A and B are shown apart, each in its own frame.
Chain A
């Protein structure tokens, strides 16, 4: 298995783009409506223990990704079973993100184009990137994260004239319940999805790398998402936010500085696509690495194309329409993701700690 090294900085950049991923598009913790920014902050706090757990799993076995760890801790059979579960999770998550973005392109840019084309073109690029390996993704992310963050912050600042402070008041009028619901949703989507990185970070610099990469990436990404959520509420107001599918895109459309800087939503759409592209690539990479380990293939590069094509097809087949997609995200995803993000990592962490203690004694 080739050694693929990424620096801490590249890892952090990749994590930032991953965390920004679909949430830049769809918004974070939107169940909390007016208070979604509070819910977002709460979900960052809630996600810190989870990310500490993922980092601990990785740093206990330096140089190994989750699938190798699973086999070492639980043996070939049970390790294989849990691996298959995680392969499915990475695969399905990738298909969900692909679908999110193809819906986005379909709704705002290319309504006449059959969605299958959009999905396949998107996946062809992902195949190319993943075949070149995680170093390519790392270097690419290192460059493009700056671009994405610059665009987002610039456009948030430019939309300040359109902000209406009353949209955010009264704070927590509906009480803590929607905020907590929003925080759980924010935890599951996107922060705890960084469990995918445990499958992908095979070779990092040193033992503290996973902590630094995952926590820094999540915090930066989380802060940006909170700022974006705040912008959405202030610009659009609660009523419009609940109607619109793509709140960030819609609030950026209102930017109009002196009649000169207007219709800038194209540049922010590119930023969305960059973040989504990295997210899909990471999911695809995770699924391929897992399958390569389970099927005992030398290199994951061999199966990238079939897995990616299947991911594209599952993406197409997943939902009939965008409303079904949004409904699924709100109602089903939190609970579906719970075993992968919370339950299994706890079991894996306990198992790996026991294994480490035993091998120290021996």
Chain B
């Protein structure tokens, strides 16, 4: 599972990030890199079966709090 995640990101780095270093502006590149790094961290955590906070659960708690269910 983890191997798959790492392979996928290696694939993305090779096919998208490297061409981007030569082509794009610095700002685009940095934003892309930060986004990719964040998603990589989350993907690795998912691959390691870590239980991550769910946005839907947070929204559910807010909504139920407001409607007093």
Contacts and interface: CB of A to CB of B under 8 A. Distances in A.
B37 to A, nearest CB: 9
B42 A120 contact: no
A317 B52 contact: yes
Contacts of B63: 331-332, 335-336
Interface residues of A, number: 28
Interface residues on B, range: 20 to 34
A318 B24 contact: no
A313 B4 CA distance: 14
A193 B60 CA distance: 19
Nearest to A311: B39
B16 A305 contact: yes
A116 B1 contact: yes
B31 A303 contact: yes
B24 to A, nearest CB: 7
Contact of A117 (B4, B25, B54, B69): B4
B8 to A, nearest CB: 7
Contact of B36 (A306, A314, A319): A306
A303 B42 contact: no
A92 B55 contact: yes
Contacts of B27: 297
Contact of A331 (B1, B32, B52, B60): B60
B16 to A, nearest CB: 6
A157 interface: no
A317 B41 CA distance: 14
A309 B16 contact: no
B30 to A, nearest CB: 10
A307 B12 CA distance: 13
Nearest to A116: B46
Contacts of B69: 331
A310 B38 contact: yes
Interface string B20-64: 100011011001101110110011001100001111100110011
A322 to B, nearest CB: 13
Contact of B59 (A302, A306, A332): A332
Contacts of A320: 54
A295 B4 CA distance: 31
A298 interface: yes
A211 B35 CA distance: 36
Contacts of A114: 1
Nearest to B36: A306
Interface in A56-70: none
Given A310-B42, A336-B63, A298 B28 contact: yes
Contacts of A295: 31
Contacts of A309: 12, 35-36, 39, 43
Contacts of B4: 117
A307 B42 CA distance: 13
Contacts of A318: 54-56
B35 A310 contact: yes
Given A120-B8, A318-B54, A318-B55, A302 B66 contact: no
Given A309-B43, A313-B42, A318-B55, A332 B60 contact: yes
